Amino acid sequence: MLPFMSRFVEDIRQARVQGRLPDRFRSANIRRACPGWAEHTYGVFLPKHRIGNPGGYTPYFEQHDDGSYSLIELKRHK
């Protein structure tokens, strides 16, 4: 895990690597694959950390035209 990567992102990454999360996912998929986080986290984290987010937050995800997301680092290493 990179030192600046959040534990939530690491949980998402592990779920993806272990096959519990599809390549493209939505907050509901993450809620099932990574239980135990605050309920609001599932809905706000993806858009907050997408490429091009208006707040300048570290981008971990790419948002696709259909509204789904994918992890940047996994996609780039395939």
Q: Where are the domains of the chain?
A: 7-76
Q: What is the mean pLDDT of residues 66-71?
A: 98
Q: Is pLDDT above 80 for 74?
A: no
Residue, of 60 and 78, whose pLDDT is higher: 60
Confidence of residue 73 (pLDDT cuts 50, 70, 90): confident
**Each residue of 6-49: pLDDT tens digit?**
899 999 999 999 999 999 999 999 999 999 999 999 999 999 99
Q: Which long-range contacts (CB under 8 A, 24 or more apart) does 2-9 make?
A: 4/58, 5/60, 8/34, 8/37, 8/41, 8/45, 9/49, 9/60
* pTM of the model as a whole: 0.85
Q: Is pLDDT above 90 for 75?
A: no
